[in-house]
Amino acid sequence: MATTKPDVQYVQIERVQFWADKESGDIHITTDDPDAKDVFKHTTISNRETSKRYHPTFYRQLATLLAQHGKTVPGWDLFCERCGGEIVLMSTSTTGYRHKPGLPECDTKPPEPQRAG
């Protein structure tokens, strides 16, 4: 059920689902909330610059959430922007990610995840 309060600007929608397409890696977003499903049925977010649904920041955020919950996002790998080393998401880490085991840690601040290729 969609809800709001008089003194706020947002509407809260329940039961929002999102997943990555197994082939393209595009992230699909949908809801079965009875108050929202007629207006917001389904949309996608892409990390391809040629797509009209290209939104790299939102894509990175959703892909990171999916990966943190063990879901596969095809074509989405995380690399340190400083040293290029592969990093992995860690649910118990303060930063949320660290260099992959066996790779040397970077001596800089925690790296920002970057999409491969």
pLDDT in tens, 63-91: 888 888 888 888 776 666 566 666 655 54
Which pLDDT score is estimated for 57? 84
Q: Which domain holds residue 41?
A: 1-71
Q: Can you give the pLDDT at residue 6?
A: 92
Q: Are residues 40 and 97 in the same domain?
A: no
pLDDT at 99: 60
Summarize the confidence of residues 40-59 as an average pLDDT. 88
Tokens of 5: 């309060």
Of 71, 86, 103, which one is at a domain's C-terminal end? 71
Amino acid 35: pLDDT: 87
Kindly state whether residues 57 and 87 are assigned to the same domain. no
Question: Is 80 exceeded by the pLDDT of residue 96?
Answer: no
Residue type, 91: S
Same domain? For 105 and 87 the reply is yes
Query: Which tokens is 79 given?
Result: 């690399």
CA distance 116 to 16: 27
Helices (H), the chain: 56-68
Task: Please indicate, yes or no, whether residues 3 and 42 belong to a single structural domain of this protein.
Answer: yes
Task: Out of 53, 71, 89, pick the residue that ends a domain.
Answer: 71
- Pull the structure tokens for residue 69: 């919950």
What mean pLDDT is reported for the chain? 77
Domains in the chain, number? 2
**What pLDDT was estimated at residue 94?**
44
- Are 6 and 62 in the same domain? yes
Nearest alpha carbon to residue 60 among 96, 84, 33, 13: 96
